[in-house]
Amino acid sequence: MKKRFDPIKDKSAEIIEYLMSSPDMPDDEGLLFKIRLSIEEAVENVVRYAYQTGNGWMEVSTSLDKQNFDLTIELRDAGTPFNPLDRDDPDITLPAEERNIGGLGIFLCKQLMDSINYRYEDGCNILTMVKSVHIA
């Protein structure tokens, strides 16, 4: 399942709902909660920060590897190059007022998903998140 949103300004909710409506999504509520939170964090970051003017496009897709039961979610944009995985994880042992601002969302994604990868290719930021949806 793949769709391009252009422009993305003020379309976070629409993009998130599109991804969550994918037939690739599992039926398990616990998995859906983790996947949705990760999607929300990643989509919001692109919508808020990728384009200086706030206008730009994002292509999103989902796919399910039926052999390994891995759900792959990909976000692609042509905004300012930015690898969110380059940031150090926040020190969550510190009180909130002593922590640096930012980085908590991608940290959360890394905790909830099985893998997250970033690459910059052909003028695009590409964030790929994978979650095993095999329910034993």
Measured CA angle at 134 (ends 128, 136), to 5 deg = 155
Among 16-25, 42-51, 79-88, 120-129, the least confident range:
79-88
User: Residue 98's CB: how many other CB atoms inside 10 A?
Assistant: 8
DSSP labels, 42-81 = HHHHHHHHS-TTS---EEEEEEEETTTTEEEEEEEE-SS-
Amino acid at 27: D
Question: Rounded mean pLDDT of 64-93?
Answer: 86
If one counts the domains in the chain, the total is: 1
Element at 107 (helix H, strand E):
helix 104-112
**Mean pLDDT, residues 125-130:** 98
For residue 26, give the nearest of 114, 125, 127, 119 by alpha carbon: 114
Q: pLDDT class for 136, splitting at 50, 70, 90?
A: low
Say what the pLDDT of residue 103 is.
52
Please give the residue range of the domain that contains residue 64.
Answer: 2-132
The Cα 113–Cα 34 span in angstroms is 7
Q: What is the mean pLDDT of residues 110-126?
A: 96
The 10s digit of each residue's pLDDT in 33-52 is 999 999 999 999 999 889 98
Model confidence at 85, pLDDT cuts 50, 70, 90, reads confident
How far, in Å, CA of 14 to CA of 100, rounded? 30
CATH number of the domain where residue 79 is located: 3.30.565.10
CA dist list (Å): 34 to 25, 53, 64, 81, 127: 12, 31, 16, 26, 17
